[in-house]
Structure 1
Amino acid sequence: MNPVSRSLYSLHLAVMLLGFTALFSKIIPLSATDITFGRSIVASITLILLVKITKGSLKLHSLKDYGIAILLGILMAVHWVTYFSAMQYSSVSVGMIALFTFPVITVFLEPFFEGIKLVWQDIFSAIVVFLGIFLIVPDISLDNDTTLGIGIGILSAFLYALRNLIHRKYFNHYSGAHAMAYQTLVIAACLVFFISPNIAHASSSTLGLLVLLGTVCTAAPHALVAASLQHLRAKTFSLVACMQPFYGVILAVIVIDEKPDWKTVLGGLLVISAAIYETVNAHKLHNLKSER
């Protein structure tokens, strides 16, 4: 198998593992904050060891980079907590669909970072996403858990988009494993004051699931992504990443017997279609800028 094909398979495996993280919101009997804290502790230790094993340096280049790492970690902490909360209130399917509004949210935040102007296609993508979300909202009231989950999921998507833009502009000179080692460490430090006593009294099976989440479904996929990008274009990574909701929903159907209705499926297709379009369009614009 040539390096490009091997990297593509590795990337799909990484995205599938990231999609699997959603299921832990349902199978770990802890709050979203406790799950995120346990995930970040395990992931940070694993990623730090990975960087050291590969003979990389854990040092950052400047004090400014340490400040950015802290900011990114704080954004990721709230993103991860809201990510798991969205699925605990609603379902894996609904939570993942809400999260993948982030590519369109990114387009509307980019003018503040890159000076890119919005075009009519971006407005159309936003309308498509709105229709997709409208389809899966059962009731326009936060008293409804599914609606609340969607709202929290969109907040999580906003935080993720903001984190990605800051990372791309100020922190993309570090490898994925190196960058996430710092961010997961900051997440753990932020959440240590907010965890409940339940995590200290968690059963061995719950702790085992947290270790699985932190290693196989967090540290491993980030390492796989970093390795695959040595042979794949960023556009390929972005498009494959849009498969994450598909993998997550399929796994939810198989593992926890979740049964999304037709509105959820159709709404998801609209949201993911807009995400794929904006991903392709973003890379076209990047290529045009590079050619000038």
Structure 2
Amino acid sequence: MQRSYTKSFILFHFIVVIYGFTAIIGKLIHMNALQMVWYRMLFAAISLFIFLKWRKINLSIAEKDILKLIGIGLVVAFHWITFFGAIKIANISVTLGIMASGTLFASILEPIFFKQRINWLEFLIGIGIVLGLYLIFSYEIHYIKGILVAILSSILATLFTILNKSYTHKFTPTLISFYEMTGGFIGITIYLLASQQFNHELLTPSVSDVIYMLLLGVICTAFAFAVSVDVMKELSAYNILLAINMEPVYGIMLAYFIFGESEYMSGGFYIGTIVILLSVFLYPMVKARLKREKLKSA
């Protein structure tokens, strides 16, 4: 039974809230970022494998494509490690505020990868994001290390999105994610073995950590992704962009109410975050308006 557009939009916002909740879970888990991502990718890969088998989707793809997807999976792994690392070093609010800057890095990296001209609308939006980042840096300089790690995480998230573009038309998104999760898991496992960190501590997490990591891998990764792919078929690109841009807002609000004082930030931080979010929200609005004007003049 097909859902209405409104129901799909509400459901997608719920999924975005789940994405925002990953930062909350990341702070609740006592393991370090590397161990956390190892478990997240393990549980996500298993869940996606079960889903693919249930839907009877063929797992066979060319070996060269598997290797490339594994490589992208390593980028995802590094992105998540730096994301959760930034939360541990600074806090949720700082990390999510910086993560909203992905549009800026996309405006720089996308023309490089696809050999395109710089989009001046994206460049102008990027200036607004730089202003917001400057305000965050100015008022939260004591979080400098966490801010820098969060910026690296945002760059890696943008890189992952760009690299994934070449595969979204070739394979189903769930199949792509399965190989990426598996690739990231294998990569982290090799690193843990080589650095002698594959030890008793890793394999004997606390009961609470296991519960949180199951939520992170199964609900916040595999389930959220599968549902988001499904509802995206019924939504416009514009509404998808607007909903995704709400992730840091939902995450910061949840962190504020759950963790209280540790997430209270200076007024300058919130001004900087608002400037970044306004810049990000303006992008699809201005782009849609320019497109309409272009169609009218044609």
Residue range with higher mean Cα deviation, 83-92 or 47-56: 47-56
Q: Are the structure 2 counterparts of residues 286 and 131 from structure 1 closer, same or farther at C-alpha, using a change threshold of 3 Å?
A: same
Larger radius of gyration: 2
Which residue is equivalent to 2:242?
Answer: 239
Give the superposed CA RMSD. Answer: 2.5
Which residue is equivalent to 1:261?
Answer: 266
Alpha-carbon deviation of 1:16? 0.6
Q: Distance in 1 between matches of 2:74 and 2:85?
A: 17
Which residue is equivalent to 2:45?
Answer: 44
Which residue is equivalent to 2:7?
Answer: 6
Which residue is equivalent to 1:81?
Answer: 81
Which residue is equivalent to 1:191?
Answer: 188
Q: Distance in 2 between matches of 1:17 and 1:140?
A: 27
Which residue is equivalent to 1:134?
Answer: 134
Alpha-carbon deviation of 1:193? 3.3
Which residue is equivalent to 1:204?
Answer: 207
TM-score by length of 2: 0.88
Task: Give me the identity figure in percent.
Answer: 24
Among candidates 260, 280, 296, match of residue 275 of structure 1: 280
Mapped contact 1:13–1:221 kept (Cα < 8 A): no
Q: Are the structure 2 counterparts of residues 286 and 228 from structure 1 closer, same or farther at C-alpha, using a change threshold of 3 Å?
A: farther
Mapped contact 1:51–1:177 kept (Cα < 8 A): yes
Alpha-carbon deviation of 1:179? 1.5
Which residue is equivalent to 1:174?
Answer: 171
Q: Which amino acid aligns with 2:77?
A: A
* DSSP-derived class of the 1:170 partner: coil
Alpha-carbon deviation of 1:152? 0.9
Q: Distance in 1 between matches of 2:119 and 2:271?
A: 26
Which residue is equivalent to 1:116?
Answer: 116
Q: Distance in 1 between matches of 2:145 and 2:287?
A: 30
TM-score by length of 1: 0.89
Alpha-carbon deviation of 1:181? 1.2
Alpha-carbon deviation of 1:282? 6.2
What does 1:12-23 align with in structure 2 at a 5 Å threshold?
12-23=13-24
Which residue is equivalent to 2:28?
Answer: 27
Q: Which amino acid aligns with 2:281?
A: I
Structure 1: state its 5+ residue gaps.
none
Q: Distance in 1 between matches of 2:54 and 2:208?
A: 28
Q: Are the structure 2 counterparts of residues 273 and 64 from structure 1 closer, same or farther at C-alpha, using a change threshold of 3 Å?
A: farther
Structure 2: state its 5+ residue gaps.
none
What does 1:50-89 align with in structure 2 at a 5 Å threshold?
50-60=51-61, 62-89=62-89
1:14-52 alpha-carbon deviations (Å, 9 max, x no partner): 111010001122110011101111111011101111121
Alpha-carbon deviation of 1:228? 0.4
* DSSP-derived class of the 2:182 partner: helix
